[in-house]
Amino acid sequence: MCMTVISGSLVFGNGDPSTFTAESTSVASTGGGTVRIMMDSPSDVQGFVVSMSHDPMMITLTGIDISGTDTETANAEFVVPTVYSNGGTLGVVLDFNAPYDGQVIPQGTGIHGANYNYSCNNPVLYFEGDPVPPSETSDLTFVDNLFGNPLLENVSVSAGMSVWPSLFDGTFTCEPVAIPSEDTVLSMETEFDGSQGNYAYHGQTGSLCFYYADQDDNIQGMTMTVCTDCDLTIGSEWDWAGSIVEEIGVEYLAVQVDDSDTDGDGCELVIAILLDALPPFEGQTLPQTADLNEGRLLIGCLSVTVDDTAECDTDQEINWCNNINGTGSVNLYNNVVIDFQSIQIYERIDTSVFVVPEEVFQRGDCNSDNQVDLADAASILANQFGSYDIECADACDANDDGLLNMADSVYLLNYLFKFGNVPPAPGPDDDGADPTSDTLPVCDSDDTNCG
């Protein structure tokens, strides 16, 4: 076979030059993989140097080796890999040590010369069913005179001569990884009475209730971490009544209520529930909810009271939040325990309390002039026996018996002039809400506890 050296390159008579090829590879972005360095050589290979760069923002070169390669099969005696942040080199001499038996990599195509091993720097994750995000791809580029001291070039050695092969770059692609979509849903709701829902007055106490739904998993426990508006007071006594947890039984419960707005981290609520925490460890769990009409089950409730400082006509928010410490020192986050695994990515539904004005009045102020005197006794009689319109029936109910009749006028006159009993709360001197339930119409005035 004749051969001619042209411009420093060794080219064989059949016109088939040597080549180096970096095989393009795709892997899951949560892991890594191997790029094979492939060679074509029309003559036996006595040694070679590979020098290749990559994008260090996307991938990391974790190592260079000859495991499983034709280089390993040929028993290469000198193998020196060097790893840099943005690339790596490999120097190989097949016959480096005595007795110099002349081992070579036989000529051929598709010679597997080396392995460059990479890992992905940035996991690309998405939930099943969501749009698939783009992959991240790094170019793998053969480079000369960039790495090493002295600087190295991509070269092979055949018949004792340097051969500069044609170079075919590759890519390393980090593919998105689909996360199974968890169908767990935790939700909070506030309720103050059947007709008002989450509407509440100052001073009114209702329930903050927690629900879950999961169609195909059994939940072993959960941590619930919540941030609340500091104009709400959350109770610490957990109420299981009517809940699935009451039916199944729970062996560990912890409730932390941080209601201080001066400690720098706002008002927080931490709840931990573990159903099976004590011997004999029977494995009780919250059941699946697939067969339920409502599709969810009650976990339990805490009390919630609207403070007098709450702004009216405004939502006081109660939101799921992570990395809070409650009244302790450990930062906690929302998770559910399924098959002994901590599941942290699932749907959570917030709630709020909408604070509404409550009508206030002075007991006995039947004519709504902000004072209680003889004119009010006359107004009571005029309303009962005449056509006088009143704005607040509860204010005219001087004896607070839930009725409007002549007894109210007599009661008020006795108080004013006969040393009789003071009209019941809120009394004749201060505005306030009616503390007792009755069927009298709601006041229709401009006096509310919101000022």
pLDDT tens-digit readout, 190-249? 998 755 567 888 888 999 999 999 998 999 999 999 999 999 999 999 999 999 999 999
Would the CATH topology of 3-179 be identical to that of 185-355?
yes
Residues near 250 by Cβ (< 8 Å), separated by ≥ 6?
A: 240, 273, 274, 275
Q: How much is the pLDDT for 295?
A: 86
CATH code, residues 185-355: 2.60.40.680
CA distances from 283 to 74, 220, 274, 291, 344 (A): 58, 8, 11, 21, 21
What is the pTM (predicted TM-score) of this model? 0.56
Q: Which residue matches tokens 């990479």?
A: 118
Q: How much is the pLDDT for 26?
A: 98
Contact 221, 336 (CB under 8 A): yes
* DSSP structure class, residue 432: B
Mean pLDDT, residues 251-270: 90
CATH code, residues 359-451: 1.10.1330.10
Size of the chain, expressed as the number of residues it contains = 451
| Domain extent listing, the chain | 3-179, 185-355, 359-451
**411-435 confidence digits (pLDDT tens):** 999 999 999 999 999 999 988 888 8
Q: How does residue 438 score in pLDDT terms, banded at 50, 70 and 90?
A: confident
Query: Directed axis angle between helix 374-385 and helix 406-417, to 10°?
Result: 170
Q: How much is the pLDDT for 13?
A: 42
Q: How does residue 451 score in pLDDT terms, banded at 50, 70 and 90?
A: low
- Chain centroid to CA 239: 27
Q: How much is the pLDDT for 197?
A: 64
Mean pLDDT, residues 371-382: 96
Q: Is the pLDDT confidence value at 313 over 70?
A: yes
Q: What is the third-level CATH fold of 3-179? A: Immunoglobulin-like (2.60.40)
Question: Got the DSSP string for 337-371?
Answer: EETTEEE--SEEE-EEEEE---B-B-TT-TT-SS-
